[in-house]
Amino acid sequence: MFTNVEHIGIAVRDLASSNDLFSKLLNVLPYKAEAVEAEGVTTSFFRVNQTKIELLEATTPDSPIAKFLEKKGEGIHHLAFEVDDIEAEMERLKTEGFTLLNEVPKRGADNKLVCFLHPKGTNGVLIELCQEIKEG
Ligand SMILES: CC[C@H](C(=O)O)C(=O)SCCNC(=O)CCNC(=O)[C@H](O)C(C)(C)COP(=O)(O)OP(=O)(O)OC[C@H]1O[C@@H](n2cnc3c(N)ncnc32)[C@H](O)[C@@H]1OP(=O)(O)O
Ligand SMILES: [Co+2]
């Protein structure tokens, strides 16, 4: 089940200057910075009540963020939803005809397991599913 919008992903060229900009805009400081090597990104997270903003800077030229910036410039990159059971949702969405970009949940930032859906099948919006990794 989709439970809420987990974060809005924004592709930026320079994390330091975008951190300053979003700190001024939101009047809060980022609560976390985290590199996700497998994605070739460094992320910075802001929280506004229940909503999170994830700023993403590319760390490799072949990163999805680098390609996005090349093609579209800075801007909203993806919409992430929290799900209660990512494997069940991936199965359901596959049955519904959505294209999964990874067949197995992969480790994301901010202690999550994630899966992405191809934007071609979601009206041009890159969708990310996130499930909190419960320690223990
Ligand atoms: C996981 C860590 C962190 C987290 O929250 O935990 C993240 O969120 S990391 C975020 C970065 N990682 C990803 O985005 C992984 C999933 N993305 C991909 O697999 C690719 O970026 C993909 C398949 C969406 C696009 O791949 P690529 O750019 O190589 O292909 P094309 O350029 O041919 O694009 C195909 C088609 O899709 C359009 N496109 C690309 N990116 C986006 C986007 N972010 N939103 C909407 N549409 C997008 C692109 O324009 C092409 O359309 P066309 O009409 O053919 O131009
Ligand atoms: Co994300």
Is-above-0.90 flag for pTM?
yes
H helices within the chain, ranges in order? Answer: 15-26, 64-72, 86-95
Q: State whether the beta carbon of 114 lies less than 6 angstroms from ligand 1.
A: yes
Atom nearest to 41 CA in ligand 1? 9
Give ipTM to 2 decimals: 0.97
CA distance 118 to 135: 29
Q: State whether the beta carbon of 82 lies less than 6 angstroms from ligand 1.
A: no
Atom nearest to 107 CA in ligand 1? 1
**Average pLDDT value for residue range 126-130:** 98
CA 96 to ligand 2 centroid distance, Å: 23
Residue-wise pLDDT tens digits, 7-31: 999 999 999 999 999 999 999 999 9
Q: State whether the beta carbon of 32 lies less than 6 angstroms from ligand 1.
A: no
**118-127: long-range pairs with CB below 8 Å, 24+:** 121/97, 122/98, 125/78, 125/79, 126/9, 126/77, 126/78, 126/79, 127/78, 127/79, 127/80, 127/81
Strand order in the sheet with 112-117: 32-36, 41-48, 51-58, 2-11, 75-83, 127-132, 112-117, 106-107
